[in-house]
Structure 1
Amino acid sequence: MTTKPEELPPVSRTAVGVAGLRALESGRPDRLFEDPYAGAFFRAGQALFSAEERGDGLGRVFAEQVAVRTRFFDEFLAGADQVVLLAAGLDTRAFRLDWPEGARLFELDLPDVLEFKDSVLATQSAEPRCERVVVPVDLRDDWPAALRAAGFAPGRPTAWLAEGLLVYLDYDEAARLLTDVTALSAPGSRISFEHRPQADRDGLLQRARAVANGSSVTSLWKGGLGGTAPEWLTEHGWRPETYSRAELAAGYGRPSEDPASGGFVTGVKNPS
């Protein structure tokens, strides 16, 4: 039985809105990326949103962030031959990016989310460009065991992506997730996720909270590691590097309206 959009959990429903923003970006002549499947996801799930929510208020807040984030993470994953997407949601990188021969990409998310996703992709006759392995699992459960059972090779360097995830976890939950990632990561593995060094003073978060319907998203945020991600990674055997979203946006030809908008962190696993 196919999962209906209204059966998705609240956090997962935000992925439908993000897909809509990816579709809008893909339609721009100066687009930073192209996602040919994003529009199908939004059309399939747009009934989740009220007329007010389908307005441009919250979308305008997040449009630049989603465009820059997607492009940055696309570039981060380039050339990787073992990839794990944590809370993959409606990510379509397995279908739209070029991958090295033999690349394997693991998508971890709740069973209902992956079922909805695959039902929409089937209507588009989408074919992955790498070996795509779907792992239905709750990240609050023993997801490392599920990942290994699906064929993940812990001795092989891995590119880990936690896109749009950690903000929905509290500090302890985020640290526990990343501790599991660290235990599964061979030297040379890489990880990336959003980084907001100013925490609650972050311009993006402030603007989202100010929008009339912003509470539908902001009420779900727990903050993740806050501004301590680089320190956490260093303490756990990673070599971190941070990136300003405003500087990336300028480099992509999209000068940011909000310089205090956080950015991203990457880490490379040091030799043991």
Structure 2
Amino acid sequence: MMRTEGDSWDIVTSVGLTALGVATFRALETIDPEPMIHDDYAAWFVEAAGEPHFTQMLDDPASVGKMRRFGRFMGVRTRFFDEFFAAAWQQGVRQAVILASGLDARAYRLDWPAGTVVFEIDQPRVLEFKDRVLAEHGAVAKADRRVVAVDLRDDWPAALTAAGLDPERPTAWSAEGLLPFLPGSAHDALFERIDALSSPGSSVATDDFGRGLDPQRFADTEEKFFGSNPFGNLDVSDLWYDDARAVPGDWLARQGWSVHSTTPVDLAAGYAQPITDMPAELLDLMQQARYVSAEKRR
């Protein structure tokens, strides 16, 4: 399943299926005896989509086996972005933009301060599925949630401002699990547009494999460490782009943002949930990956 220019997807195909997989592992992490995160909405999406590989995981968590390790990585990632938004609102930020929001339920499960607006950007069919499931369960957002159905390869700033984003006010931006799925040109334009739409006091967080992103190496290491492909028959690396692109942390620093970077291994240790029994190949790959947060200086 290779990418093509202008391709689109729903929740059980292509990039949409990866969002469903992430929701599955968030659901599994939630029912872990020592969960790193709580996402009671994730299971709703998996059940509604009815994709056999993922529904089997939720029906029989014991069958997950070594793939449970992948759920711990998703727990680390989810907690990083949860804490990023919490830090932003503690600084008085009341606008948040979740880029490629997929099945992210943060507008519902985080305790946003009164007056916060949360914008979610993603493909139209993904958002349609998500909204239908949430409505069926009577879910109520804890913020002013506004969906923006637009492809991130297109003119999403126009759609976002039309939905009410105020570039004169600080904004917290997240790009979670997104960057490898963008061509280099769209990847670099993403950060240029974030910078242009951000007033001083804004912040951004992303996860980035950077120069360590080798799709084949990732696939081989994934099979060895997790025992099988966490995404079933979908080879996620087929959906990635590995063309030239800027390093997000370096680019943001050059634009005057204050940048902090850490690895998923160090994050897990900091959460008192160290990832152990890791083969050298995966440890090396994870040490090259980065979780990046940055604040635009005043």
Same fold (TM over 0.5): yes
Q: Distance in 2 between matches of 1:53 and 1:165?
A: 24
Q: Which residue is 2:198 aligned to?
A: 185
- 8 Å CA contact 1:199–1:223 kept in 2: the answer is no
Q: Distance in 1 between matches of 2:47 and 2:26?
A: 12
Is 1:168 aligned to residue 176 of structure 2?
A: no
Q: Which residue is 2:267 aligned to?
A: 248
* Counterparts of residues 81-230 of structure 1 (less than 5 Å): 81-197=94-210, 199-200=212-213, 206-208=220-222, 211=228, 213=232, 216-223=235-242, 228-230=247-249
- 8 Å CA contact 1:23–1:39 kept in 2: the answer is yes
When residues 31 and 57 of structure 1 are mapped into structure 2, their CA distance, relative to the original with a 3 A threshold, is closer
Per-residue Cα deviation, 1:237-265 (whole angstroms, up to 9, x for no partner) = 32211012111111222211344312300
Q: Distance in 1 between matches of 2:147 and 2:190?
A: 19
When residues 197 and 112 of structure 1 are mapped into structure 2, their CA distance, relative to the original with a 3 A threshold, is closer
- 8 Å CA contact 1:167–1:224 kept in 2: the answer is no
Q: Which residue is 1:65 aligned to?
A: 73
Q: Which residue is 2:38 aligned to?
A: 34
1:76 to 84, 101, 116: 84
SS in 2 for 1:140: coil
- 163-172 vs 84-93, greater mean Cα deviation: 163-172
Q: Distance in 1 between matches of 2:57 and 2:124?
A: 26
Q: Distance in 1 between matches of 2:12 and 2:28?
A: 23
- 8 Å CA contact 1:234–1:240 kept in 2: the answer is yes
Q: Which residue is 2:17 aligned to?
A: 13
Displacement after TM superposition at 1:226 (Å): 6.8
Q: Distance in 2 between matches of 1:270 and 1:255?
A: 33
Displacement after TM superposition at 1:208 (Å): 2.5
SS in 2 for 1:268: strand
- 8 Å CA contact 2:30–2:37 kept in 1: the answer is yes
Unpaired runs of at least 5, structure 1: none
TM-score (norm 1): 0.88
TM-score (norm 2): 0.80
When residues 253 and 155 of structure 1 are mapped into structure 2, their CA distance, relative to the original with a 3 A threshold, is same
Per-residue Cα deviation, 1:170-228 (whole angstroms, up to 9, x for no partner) = 33221011111111010111001102255136986652265455752111112487782
Aligned residue identity for 1:12: G
- 212-221 vs 143-152, greater mean Cα deviation: 212-221
Q: Distance in 1 between matches of 2:270 and 2:168?
A: 35
Unpaired runs of at least 5, structure 2: 1-8
- 8 Å CA contact 1:111–1:137 kept in 2: the answer is yes
Q: Distance in 2 between matches of 1:58 and 1:173?
A: 35
